[in-house]
Amino acid sequence: MFILVNLKAYPCDPIAVATAARDVAEASGARIGVAPQAADLARVAETGVETWAQHVSPNGHGSHTGSTLAEAVADNGAAGTLINHSENRLKLADIDGSVGAAERAGLETIVCANNPAQIGAAAALSPDAVAVEPPELIGGDVSVATADPGIVEDAVTAAEAVDPEVDVFCGAGVSTGDDVDAAGELGASGVLLASGVAKADDPAAVLEDLVSGL
């Protein structure tokens, strides 16, 4: 089970969260990653935590002002990247381009989607993983695995029908160890979460709870 903490653009201390995640991962043996803002990638990677980007652009080097190059992300210590998060949606061709750019740079890829039908389309692009995140549950207190377990099961089925090698994660509302356990029971091999850790008074305590059942 992979736990990936997306810091989005929250006003948290990325180094404090990264350090807590590193320490909990080392103590528990769990795989925990942190996805900070692009400007913080190198500093977060220096803590030793598994570091992910929140996005990479589909293009390579050239006249592309404002792009986030996969090569630059990798050079700054990232191991992987999210693509097509609900808050940063892309056209299908650009998702495909971003997956390709990430793979050429040696990055792992997680393509996000809103529902099982989109999960199937995302899996067809052969990322390392797809993640189902219903937008209406993002940032809430109720996990998708509790509010709508069927969508997780259907996402797993949809991905397996297209490419059994693609892992399926779930996100939206994940904040406790029980949520992580429920996701695993439904067939997910990872979870994405954000506010539950990024906005917590004690990120380490939340992370310890998240891994408690693993």
Asked if residue 7 belongs to a known ligand binding site, the reply is yes
* Per-residue pLDDT at 36: 99
Query: CA-CA distance, 106 to 100, in Å (whole number)?
Result: 10
Percent of the chain with pLDDT strictly greater than 70: 97
**Residue 178 confidence (pLDDT):** 92
Q: What is the pLDDT of residue 198?
A: 96
3-state helix/strand/coil string of 161-205: HHCCCCEEEEECCCCCHHHHHHHHHCCCCEEEECHHHHCCCCHHH
Active site residues: 85, 133
150 is in an annotated binding site: no
Judge whether 115 is annotated as a binding position.
no
In one-letter notation, the amino acid at residue 175 is: S
pLDDT (0 to 100) of residue 201: 96
Residue whose pair of structure tokens reads 């990247």 in the numeric block: 81
pLDDT per residue over 34-50, tens digit each?
Answer: 999 999 999 999 999 99
- Residue 199 counted as an annotated binding residue: no
What's the domain range around 44? 2-210
Q: Please give the angle made by the CA atoms of 169, 189 and 145, to the nearest 5 degrees.
A: 60
Per DSSP, the three-state class of 136 is helix
What the block records as the tokens of 34 is 């942190």
- CA distance linking residue 170 with residue 155, whole number of Å: 9
pLDDT, tens digit, 9 for 90 and up, residues 98-149: 999 999 999 999 999 999 999 999 999 999 999 998 777 666 676 777 767 8
Give me the number of domains the chain comprises: 1
pLDDT at position 28 over 90: yes
For residues 48-64, give the mean pLDDT. 97
Residue 122, domain CATH: 3.20.20.70
| Residues 156-165 pLDDT 10s | 999 999 999 9
Q: What tens digit of pLDDT does each residue of 148-193 get?
A: 788 899 999 999 999 999 999 998 778 899 999 999 999 999 999 9
What is the helix (H) or strand (E) element at residue 144, kind and residue range?
helix 144-147
To the question of pTM greater than 0.75 for the whole model, the response is: yes
